[in-house]
Every structure is written in C-alpha cells, then in structure tokens.
Amino acid sequence: MLNIDLHCHSTVSDGVLTPAQLVQRASQRGVKVLALTDHDDVAGLDEACMTAAEENITFINGVEISVSWRGRTIHVLGLNIDPNYQPLFDGLAAIRDGRTQRARNIAAELEKVGIDGSFEGAFAHVGARGLIGRTHFARFLIENGYARDMKSVFKKYLVKGKPGYAHHEWAALSEAVNWITGSGGNAVIAHPARYNLGKNVLNDLLDDFCALGGTGLEVISASHTQQQVEIFAGHARMRKLLVSCGSDFHGPDESFYDLGKLPELPAGCVPVWHDWKVPENAAAS
C-alpha cells in the first residue's frame, strides 16, 4: 500500500470533512505525505498544513482546477503549488464566481423536471467558503429520495443528456497549466479515465497538455480499474510524464478509496514526488 495520497477534498470545496479533520483522518490511516486538492480553491491549505505539522505528515499544497478543453470538462491538479502566486489566486477566484451562476442554471434545469428548491437545498450543504458544485446538488437529490447514493445520482442527473445538466465554460487548459507551473508546481491530469475520451482524443489532450508544460498524469485513482491503471501507466512511460496517485476522497460514505489505501504504482513509472522533499520512508516505490 502506498502511504502517499495526492488528491482529496475538504469542506472548502465538496468534501465533508474540514481540512483539519481530513488531515487527522489521513494520519490515523497511515498517510505520510498528503496533498489537499480542493476544487478551484486554496483556502484550506493553511489549516491542513498546520494540522499536518502536528500529525507529523508531510503536507503538499494542492488544488484541482476545472478546465474546458474542446467542449469537455477536464480536471487539472496543481501539486506543490505556491497558493499565493497572484495569477493562480486570481484565476481561481474567477472560476469560483462562475460556479454560482452555473448552480442557478442547474437549479433551473432541475425545475424543468419538477424538482424545486434545489439551489437552496444544495446550498445547505455548502461550506463556509460558499463554493457550490454538483456534489452539493447530488447530496440534496439523495436526501430527497431522487437517487440512492453518489454513484447512482451521477447516472440519472447532473450529467450531459440528463436532468440538471448545465453546460459551463471553465478555465482554458493553457491558463490552468500556466498558473500551476508559474507558481512552481506540477500540473497533473486528474483521473483520465473519467472523461471517456477514446484513444485518439486522449492522445490529443496529452499532446496539448505536454506542449503547454504539463508534467504529470494521475495513474492511481478511485476512478480507475486495474486495467486502466496499466493503460495510463503506459501513456506516462511513453511520454515521460510523471505519475501521481490519489484517492479523490470526499467523505467516509461517499468515496470508493479511503485516504491512505492506494495500490502501488506500476513498475517503471517516475512518481511526481521524485524531486520533492519527502521523507525517505514515505512513498517508497
């Protein structure tokens, strides 16, 4: 088992634990190196970093940026970023502004199928930062009996072709990569299997990403089967991309992988942390 986890969420975005609670849980589960990667926000990093110091965990500043590429939504992780780098900070603020309008559009779509009050209902699940996303709508839909759990709600609602879908323009891929690399971080394509791209379009995405200065691919993810892990490891080896691993943990009852329970990296891959200052015994691979 790997004791490094470079992808998870707190109440700053759509997780259910506060940054401090999240780090404590990671610590209890044996994580030695942790990155907090909230969607489009870095506001949880200070609290997480302080708790990590108390728990003797190496903490990595992270973020998961929402990107539009060829009309699709892609998530780009920024790892080992400087959260105070102004272009990154301002860029994230602009993305967050867009989320509130998109939430109104989602609520309007749900109204069309007779589901009223979803904006307020989703907002009841939103944390103090006010960042709203589809997960908050999902929790509202589950608690009102429209779906059984997280997995099924995203089959019936909130996705293209289903009720409650609203198209949205996020940041450009070039912007996200530039903000991350400009701040000194590694840009990493998150959970590549999630996008159902097909081989050719995936290669186009990786071409664009590498040309812009992207350096990593998230190979180990809760969204990936073992077969997909091998496929993406192959892409990483071929393109000399660094590989990353993350649970994408959102909450105890909502996530496929819990913190600190990740399988080993495939052979022959260079981990994204290879030139970071992490303890010798951490993340041995």
Stretch of 26-34, 42-50, 129-137, 208-216 lying at the interface with ligand AMP (CB under 6 A): 129-137
Of 36-95, binders to ligand AMP (CB under 6 A) are 39, 66
Cα–Cα distance, 51 to 58 (Å, whole number) = 10
Q: Which two tokens stand for residue 46?
A: 């200070």
256 in contact with ligand AMP (CB under 6 A): no
Stretch of 54-62, 77-85, 146-154, 178-186 lying at the interface with ligand AMP (CB under 6 A): 146-154
The 8-class DSSP code of residue 117 comes to S
Distances, alpha carbon 10 to alpha carbons 37, 128, 189, in Å: 8, 11, 20
62-73 b/e (C-beta count within 10 Å ≥ 16 → b): bbbbbbbbeeee
Q: Which is nearer to ligand AMP, 141 or 269 (CB)?
A: 141
Q: How many CB atoms lie within 10 A of CB 105?
A: 15
| Contact mark string toward ligand AMP, 153..192, x via CB under 6 A | -x--------------------------------------
DSSP labels, 12-56:
TTT-SS-HHHHHHHHHHTT-SEEEE--BT--TTHHHHHHHHHHHT
Nearest to 77 by CA among 130, 115, 38: 38
Query: Which option in Mn ion, ligand AMP, none does residue 66 bind, with CB closer than 5 to 8 A by kind?
Result: ligand AMP
By rule CB under 5 A, what count of residues binds Mn ion? 5
Stretch of 29-37, 52-60, 147-155, 225-233 lying at the interface with ligand AMP (CB under 6 A): 147-155
Which of 2, 150, 217, 220 touches ligand AMP (CB under 6 A)?
150
Q: How far is the CB of 137 from Mn ion (least distance, A)?
A: 12
131 in contact with ligand AMP (CB under 6 A): no
Q: H helices within the chain, ranges in order?
A: 19-28, 45-55, 86-112, 118-123, 134-143, 150-156, 173-182, 198-212, 226-239
Which positions touch Mn ion (CB under 5 A)?
14, 64, 75, 190, 248
Interacting residue ranges for ligand AMP, rule: CB under 6 A:
14, 39, 66, 133-135, 150-151, 154, 250
